[in-house]
């Protein structure tokens, strides 16, 4: 049995009936309209085991009890350690239709991941000027791109975020964000740092995930790796920066997460889905550094 979670709620494609009169009048110089692109392929999995009592989220994601998703989200929307979610009630606290029970061998398809990549729009360039970008920054605005991406929120709802990145690395970011979507790794919000006046502290204070920000390195004067668009901070509250002495935790709201508990939603662990996705592209994680720890930080060059 194949469950097309979202497909069954969307309208069937309109049937186009050729109009011969219109064709006769058509200007031969006007090119044919481009055919509609195929929809994004859905991400499908087989339910592995009846005994696991797996249920599936109405958005198409996995909400299972014995077989939690990689981000450990359970049927009731809570998060827990892998395999610890207990009985699956197949209802959701958010008022949605709820999970549907799935038998072993059932193929269930996730909501398709959606994203776009585009050059920086004029309004965003204007917002970046004097906040996250100035003359003399190591990467110019034309070398950056804006990713608009789907992501799961901490409330279990699908959301849309925007990330400014180095254009030639956009495919890496998109691949990681797609993987985070597929395993329902929750990300609180994704907004350009210019929305916070370029203040990393203000961005971290609301648990914002961001990439490009032309600014000095934390606690120093040289350019941060974020100034190059090849670094990203993910869920900074659950994944704080912790100085070597342990005396500085940024953001301060991240203090409860200095002691790493893998069952905390949105917390980055190794092994885990976010570290694994970046590692496949050769990127480094600040949580693996020896002295200071920057659990939110991933970069192309490992710095
Ligand atoms: Zn960082």
Q: Are 64 and 52 in contact (CB under 8 A)?
A: yes
User: 125 in a domain, yes or no?
Assistant: yes
Is the same domain home to 35 and 141? no
Q: How far is the CA of 231 from the centre of ligand 1 (A)?
A: 6
Tell how far the Cα of 233 is from the centroid of ligand 1, in angstroms. 5
277 CA from centroid of ligand 1 (Å): 17
Q: Do residues 81 and 180 share a domain?
A: no
Distance from C-alpha of 243 to C-alpha of 125, rounded to nearest angstrom: 33
How many Å separate Cα 96 from the centre of its chain?
Answer: 22
Find the DSSP H helices in the chain.
Answer: 20-25, 122-128, 170-182, 200-205, 273-280
Task: Considering only the C-alpha atoms of the chain, give the largest distance between any 2 of them, rounded to a whole number of Å.
Answer: 78
Give the residue from 153, 148, 139 showing the smallest Cα distance to 228.
139
CB atoms within 10 A of CB 140: 9
pLDDT the model gives residue 235: 98
Model-level pTM?
0.73
pLDDT at residue 104 in the model: 64
C-alpha 216: how far from its chain's center? 25
Based on the fold, state whether residues 132 and 90 are members of the same structural domain: no
CA atoms within 13 A on the CB side of 118: 10
Ligand 1 centre distance from Cα of residue 298 (Å):
7
CA 226 / ligand 1 centre spacing (Å) = 6
Q: Tell how far the Cα of 74 is from the centroid of ligand 1, in angstroms.
A: 30
Indicate if 184 and 244 belong to the same structural domain: yes
> For position 105, what pLDDT does the model report?
66
CA of 260 to the centre of ligand 1 (A): 18
Of the residues 112, 135, 169, the one at which a domain ends: 112
State the distance from the centre of ligand 1 to the C-alpha of 104, rounded, in angstroms: 42
Give residue 47 CA to ligand 1 midpoint distance, Å.
37
Strand-strand pairing, 2-3 and 107-109: parallel
Does residue 16 lie within any of the structural domains?
Answer: no
Q: Is 261 contained in some domain?
A: yes
Between the CA of 70 and the centroid of ligand 1 the distance, in Å, is 24
Statement to judge: residues 247 and 262 lie in one domain: yes
Ligand 1 center to 295 CA (angstroms): 9
Q: How far away, in angstroms, is 8 Cα from ligand 1 center?
A: 41
Classify residue 17: in a domain, yes or no: no
> How many CB atoms sit inside 10 A of residue 171's CB?
13
Cα 221 to ligand 1 centroid, rounded to whole Å = 15
Q: Which residues are placed with Cβ below 5 angstroms of ligand 1, an ion? A: 233, 297
Is-contact 176 274, C-beta < 8 A?
yes
What tens digit of pLDDT does each residue of 11-20 get?
333 444 444 4
Say if residues 41 and 146 touch (Cβ distance below 8 Å): no
What is the phi/psi pair of residue 208, to 5°? -85, 135
61 with 128, same domain: the answer is: no
Asked, for residue 253, whether it belongs to a domain, the answer is yes
Consecutive 10-residue averages of pLDDT for the chain (303 residues): 31 39 51 59 56 46 40 47 41 44 59 91 98 96 98 84 98 95 87 98 98 91 96 98 97 97 84 90 97 97 96
Q: What is the pLDDT of residue 160?
A: 97
Domain assignment present for 229: yes
Q: Write down which residue in 112, 128, 153 finishes a domain.
A: 112
Same domain membership, residue 281 and residue 268: yes
**How far away, in angstroms, is 126 Cα from ligand 1 center?**
23
Domain count, the chain: 2
Q: Are residues 5 and 88 in the same domain?
A: yes
Q: What separation in Å is there between the alpha carbon of 83 and the centre of ligand 1?
A: 32
| Dist. CA 151 → ligand 1 center (Å) | 20
Check if the beta carbon of residue 287 is closer than 8 Å to that of residue 240. Answer: no
Question: What are 219-257's pLDDT values in tens digits?
Answer: 888 999 999 999 999 999 999 999 999 999 999 999 999
Q: Are residues 46 and 121 in the same domain?
A: no
CA of 155 to the centre of ligand 1 (A): 25
Task: Give me the domain span that covers residue 66.
Answer: 1-10+22-112
Give the torsion through C-alpha atoms of 65, 274, 169, 297, to 10 deg: 140
């Amino acid at each position: 049995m194949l469950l097309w979670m979202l497909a069954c709620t969307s309208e069937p494609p309109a049937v186009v009936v050729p109009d011969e009169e219109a064709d006769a009048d058509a200007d031969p110089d006007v090119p044919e309209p481009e055919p509609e692109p195929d929809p994004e392929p859905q991400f499908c999995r087989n339910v592995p085991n009846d005994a696991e009592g797996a249920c599936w989220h109405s958005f198409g994601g996995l909400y299972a009890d014995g077989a939690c998703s990689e981000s450990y989200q359970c049927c009731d929307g809570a998060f827990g350690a892998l395999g610890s979610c207990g009985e699956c009630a197949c209802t959701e606290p958010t008022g949605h239709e709820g999970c549907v029970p799935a038998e072993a061998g059932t193929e269930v398809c996730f909501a398709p991941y959606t994203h776009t990549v585009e050059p920086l729009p004029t309004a965003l360039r204007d917002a970046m000027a004097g906040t996250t970008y100035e003359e003399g920054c190591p990467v110019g605005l034309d070398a950056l791109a804006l990713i608009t991406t789907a992501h799961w929120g901490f409330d279990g709802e699908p959301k849309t975020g925007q990330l400014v990145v180095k254009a030639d690395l956009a495919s890496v970011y998109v691949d990681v964000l797609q993987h985070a979507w597929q395993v329902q790794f929750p990300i609180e919000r994704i907004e350009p740092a210019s929305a916070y006046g370029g203040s990393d502290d203000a961005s971290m204070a609301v648990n914002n995930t961001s990439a490009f920000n032309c600014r000095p390195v934390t606690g120093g004067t040289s350019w941060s790796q974020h100034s190059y668009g090849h670094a990203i901070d993910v869920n900074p509250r659950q994944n704080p920066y912790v100085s070597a002495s342990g005396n500085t935790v940024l953001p301060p709201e991240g203090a409860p997460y200095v002691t790493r508990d893998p069952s905390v939603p949105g917390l980055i662990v190794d092994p885990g889905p976010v570290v694994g996705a970046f590692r496949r592209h050769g990127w480094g994680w600040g949580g693996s550094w020896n002295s200071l720890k920057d659990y939110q930080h991933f970069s192309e060059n490992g710095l």
